[in-house]
Each structure stands twice: as structure tokens, then as C-alpha cells.
Structure 1
Amino acid sequence: MEEKRSYGRILAVSVLVLWLEAMLAVVIGVLYALTRELPHFLGSTTAVMSLLAVTKVVALLGLVLSLLVVLPAVALSDLLGRVIGGRDAWGWVPPTVGVVLSPLAVWARAGGWETSTVLATWGVTTAVLSVAALLGRPRRKGLFGLVAKRGTAVVVGIGLLGSFLIWTEILPKYRPPSITRADVVGTWSDNRGGRLTFEADGRVTAGGISRPGLGDGTSDAVQGCSGSGTWTFTAGRRNTWGQRVGTSIPGCGLPDWRVAGKPGSPQLYRYVGDPDDGQLYELDKRG
């Protein structure tokens, strides 16, 4: 006799699969960010704590989606398979998930979402939830443990593979452009009226540059810094991450500027408040 469908097992496996898919997305996102300009959020305490909080939200969201979409889709696909083909078939699962999600797509479109955005979101969500439904529907003992082991192996494996590709420079990791003292000379702007002008003789002039806030130091003061002083350039000892541009302007108290951007289009930046918050104050070279 065929084993009876266990919807409790489907629910558990579905939540697990959705959580694993979310973790896979995080791993791929981190690897991608390492190849992009200024991945300043990586490695910070805040990012780690946020990720831990997100995992709980993902598990709760996975439970809700499994109850509202995955379980009804599996039941409906079984019914359609038996009525049309005489037996339940996995091929009915993806279109059934799409149908169950359709009311949400209609609601989003009525709420003002662009049609392209609605269709893309509906398609991705259908694919993600279909995987959870397909992996949860087999009538097999020990399914949860099997999915947990293999799913974790996939996530860890992709993380290790991506790390290896970045370490070997097959996927180039982002590094700030290498600049010289001559590259610093000129005017740099925050695109909001603030500017720093570096002279070749070591002088610097500031006009409306945002300065670290007074008091707790967690924000930038609204009042800008203006005045004249001197500047220095320090090349990175081991790599371009160590490049610094220091400014000494009476009454400003500006920390050293770090280098970002890309070759031919460098930027100077400093952290605003706690570096773990990842907020930057950036300057672009204008001449």
C-alpha cells in the first residue's frame, strides 16, 4: 500500500528548504559583494548581528509561506494529477504554486507595482517555493535529515568554491585603485557643496566639508568645516587598502581619508560614526 502523504513532514521540509535557499542567497550575495566596489558592510559586527536576526525572520517567513502556499499547492497538484492523469505527478507542482501566488501578484499590480517588477517577483517566488514543495512531497522516511545534510552541503560547498575562486583571483576581489601623491593634488567634492583642494606643495583648503559630530561622535555635524592647513599621503605598506590621505586643518579635526573607487576614477572616503554601521562620507575628484 502506498504510504500516506504526511503534510507535517512537507511543512518541516519546506521551511528547511526555504531557510537553506535564503542562506544560499546570502552566501552568493557576500561573494558577489567582495567583487564590487566598497563592500564596507562585510566583516562588521553589525552585519553579523543583522544576519543572525534575519535568519529568524527567514524561518518565520518560511513557515508562513509554507502554510499559505506550499501545502495548498502540493494538495492541489495531487488532486489535479489524480483527476487528469490518474495519479499525482510532480509536474503539476510549479504551475500550481504559480496559480496560488497569482492573487498576490494581482494585489501588487493593483497597488502600483510596475508590471515587469510584478512578473519578475512572481516568477522568482514561484521558482523558490516550487523547489520547497518538490523536495517536501516525496513519501520517504528520513526525508528531513536527508534534505538538511545535502542542502547544507550545497550551501557550504558553494561558499567554499566561491572563496577559492576569489582567493585564486579567478574571480577578482575588489581592491582600491593604487594612487600616488600626484593623484591626490586637485579638488575633491562631496557633490553637496563641500570640497577639499589639495596643492602640490602640501597645502589644503576645505570649504563646507562635513566634520565628525561633537559629543558622542556617532554622526556628522550639520555645520561644515572650512579653512586651510596641510596634508600628507601615505602609501599602503602591503596593499592598496592601507592608503591614507591625512589633513590637518585648525578647528576641523578630520580623520584620515581612505581610498576607494576604481582606476582612473578614485574616491576619498571616511566612516561616519561607528565603522560597523557602514556609513560613508565620500569625495569625488573634480579637477
Structure 2
Amino acid sequence: MRLRALGLVCGLIAAVSFTNTGCARYWDCGDEGDRPAGLTRQDMVGTYRADPFGTLTLKSDGTFEVSDWPEFDYPNDPKHTDWAAAGTWALQPERKTSGMRDDLELSFTGNRYWNSDFSKWQSDFTFDVTGKRQKPRLYRFTTDPDVCELHTLRHD
């Protein structure tokens, strides 16, 4: 009986700690849906636009260009940076996981941006992919995933 009560108390402490640190919200937010089955690199080629601004063009040779790129860490008041850059992109192998999958990776050439907590410069950026093969949609969580705010780029 005493061992069972101790187990119950430990379980309650763990559950309260887990939810109070914000970790539980990662699963409550969900995502925008699964990656389209059979998605190929060729399916991703095209121009994507964010709302209210930001354009990403993925080219078939594995390069990309961005223009009017927003500061993605302000969901309620996106900052307009008027930043343009280029680099290479890669569609990552499909993973059977929920939450953040980092399906598409952008590697900026010669340009870097501050990471979400402004502690260091980064030269890569990732998005999850959802939608349909004919019209994929890119998204990523703003700042911390437990905020449950997403930035989305839609295929033209």
C-alpha cells in the first residue's frame, strides 16, 4: 500500500512538472497535417507566398531565392525585414513522426539570420510540408511550438 501511494505521488509530481514547464502543449498544438505521401523534390519546385509578406522560390536545380522575407518570430505582428537571399534547398527523407518534422531545409549562401532567441547567427531554416503533392504548403511554428502559432507559405 505504501509503495503504491509513493508511486502515485511520484506520478502526480511528474505530471504537474511536465504540464507546468510547457512541455505538454507540444502535443496539444498538433500540426497542419501529414506530409503528402510520395512527395518528391520535383513536387516542391515553384513559388510560395506567406501572408502578409514573404516569397520563396524553389528551383529544380536545388537552389532557392527568398525576397521580402519576414522575421518569423513575431506571430501577431510580423516584422518586415525586406531581406532577400539565396541558397540551396533539400527535401529531407520522410519521417513517420508527429510534431515538427523539418521536411524542407533551406541553407542560405553567404547570408545569416538571428535564431529565434537572438543568441546566435544561423544559416539554415526548416519547414514542415503538408497539403497535396500538386500544391504543397510549407509551415513552421513561430518561436516556441507551445505558442501554437504557425507561419504558412502557400504554393502559387
Instruction: Output the TM-score relative to the length of structure 1.
Output: 0.35
2:36 maps to which residue? 177
8 Å contact 1:259–1:267 — kept in the other structure?
yes
1:283 correspondence with 2:150: no
Q: How does 1:110-125 map to 2 (within 5 A)?
A: none
CA distance, structure 2, for counterparts of residue 251 and residue 238 of structure 1? 30
**2:112 equivalent to 1:251:** yes
> 1:3-60 CA distances to partner (integer Å, 9 max, x unpaired)?
xxxxxxxxxxxxxxxxxxxxxxxxxxxxxxxxxxxxxxxx616959xxxxxxxxxxxx
CA distance in 2, matches of 1:46, 1:224: 34
More helix by share: 1
> Does the 8 Å contact 1:181/1:233 carry over to 2?
yes
* CA positional deviation for 1:210: 1.6
Q: SS where residue 210 of structure 1 aligns?
A: strand
1:188-245, CA deviations, whole angstroms, 9 ceiling, x for partnerless residues? 111433110111111110001223449xxxx854324311111111021336974611
Q: CA deviation at 1:283?
A: 0.4
Read off the aligned partner of 2:86 and give its amino acid letter: S
Of structures 1 and 2, the larger Rg is shown by: 1
Match of 1:260 in 2: 130
Q: Deviations over 1:90-125 (max 9, x none)?
A: xxxxxxxxxxxxxxxxxxxxxxxxxxxxxxxxxxxx
TM-superposed CA distance for 1:251, in Å, is 2.4
| 1:44 equivalent in alignment to 2:25 | yes
- Say how many residue pairs are matched: 116
- Decide whether the 8 Å contact of 2:44 with 2:136 is kept in 1: no
Q: 1:274 to 1:47 in 2, by over 3 A?
A: same
Which whole-Å CA distance do the structure 1 matches of 2:26 and 2:36 have between them? 26
Q: Deviations over 1:45-79 (max 9, x none)?
A: 6959xxxxxxxxxxxxxxxxxxxxxxxxxxxxxxx
User: For the residues of structure 2 that align with 1:269 and 1:184, how far apart are their CA atoms?
Assistant: 13
Aligned equivalents of 1:181 and 1:248: distance in 2?
Answer: 16
With CA pairs under 8 Å and 6+ residues apart, which has the higher RCO, 1 or 2? 2
Identity percentage over the alignment?
25
Report the TM-score when normalising by structure 2: 0.60
CA RMSD of aligned residues (A): 3.2
Q: Which runs of 5+ in 2 are unaligned?
A: 1-23, 114-121
